Every structure is written in C-alpha cells, then in structure tokens.
Amino acid sequence: MSDTDTLIRHFILDGRRRLDTFERSLFHEKLRSPARDNYTKLFEETPEEALAYCEKYLRKAKKCNAPASAISSIQSSTGCWELGTAKSPRRIKLLGVSDYLYRFISLTLTATLPYDGEVVRHLCNNRICIRPDHLKIGSVGENKMDDILNAYAGGINKGA
Ligand SMILES: [Zn+2]
C-alpha cells in the first residue's frame, strides 16, 4: 500500500469512529435547518454511503507535491489533494445533501452538523483542496483572520 492509500484509510477509519459515536446535541431541535436535517439523516441512516463517497473522491483527487517552503504559519507543509477549479470547486449531491465537496468531506469525517456562522476553512488557503487535514471547521471571523494573515504574509488569497 502506498503512503497515500494508508493516509486515506486512516481518514476514513477516523471518520467511521466519529460517525459511530455521533449523537444529537441537547439543542438539536432548536438548531434545526434543512441542511442540518439532511446531514443528520445521512450520519444516522447511511454513514457507510457517506464514507464511501468521501473515500471515492479522496482517491480521485490530484495529489500535489508539498510546497517547497511554507509562506506563513498557517500554510500547510503537506501537499494538497485537488478537485475542480478555483472558479468552481467541486459540488456534490448525495441523499438530499447538496454542498461543496470539501465541506461535505470535512463535516462527514468529523461527524459535525452544519450550523449558523460555521465555515469550513482551508488551512492551506487552496479552495479546491479536499484533503481532510487541510480543512478545519471554524467561524466566519476566523476565516477572515486567515485571509488577513495570508495577505500579511504575502500569500495569494484563493478564498475560503
Ligand atoms: Zn490543501
């Protein structure tokens, strides 16, 4: 098995462990939205299909070499896994869930439901990257801070 295969296996196993222990929060009913309902259904009823979908695209993504040198502290030092184009990052539709692929992968593998004001941030600042450890769920404010730090470090801002 290649290093990439091992890594994908690890991401999927980790995601399965989190989905296995997924539980609705105390505020579930209060926070309901169509997007949350769709993800809830996916996590509770068809977690294996969701994981298979993640695995398929993680395999399919173009594996880029690690950047020669990190230009800022938040720049990742491992290579991105890319799908789609900067203008139109890949979107997916699966069992009622419609979303950007990178958001789908990040939410599914961490068993996190979307909530108001949440954004999936690209630590690598590369919007078409779907590599799970380059993605982090955070707030809109944190995402803006990423942009500012990147601009400050002279990085090219490719958006969230
Ligand atoms: Zn990346």
Residue 42 CB partners (closer than 8 Å, separation 6+): 49, 50, 94, 95, 96, 97, 108
* pLDDT given at position 76: 53
**132 C-alpha to ligand 1 centroid (Å):** 8
**34 C-alpha to ligand 1 centroid (Å):** 29
**126 C-alpha to ligand 1 centroid (Å):** 6
| Residue, of 85 and 144, whose pLDDT is higher | 85
Judge whether 159 lies within some domain.
no
**85 C-alpha to ligand 1 centroid (Å):** 13
* pLDDT given at position 62: 96
* pLDDT given at position 152: 73
Judge whether 157 lies within some domain.
no
Domains of the chain: total: 1
**105 C-alpha to ligand 1 centroid (Å):** 13
Judge whether 51 lies within some domain.
yes
Judge whether 66 lies within some domain.
yes
Judge whether 121 lies within some domain.
yes
Judge whether 30 lies within some domain.
yes
**32 C-alpha to ligand 1 centroid (Å):** 31
pLDDT tens-place string over residues 40-72: 999 999 999 999 999 999 999 999 988 776 555
- pLDDT of 80 higher than 80: yes
Provide mean pLDDT across the span 110-119: 91
- pLDDT of 73 higher than 70: no
Judge whether 158 lies within some domain.
no
- Do the beta carbons of residue 89 and residue 127 sit within 8 Å? yes
Judge whether 94 lies within some domain.
yes
Cα separation, 148 vs 146, in Å, equals: 5
Q: In the block, which residue shows the tokens 């699966």?
A: 94
pLDDT tens-place string over residues 27-36: 999 999 999 9
Cα separation, 47 vs 19, in Å, equals: 7
Print the domain residue range for 80: 3-152
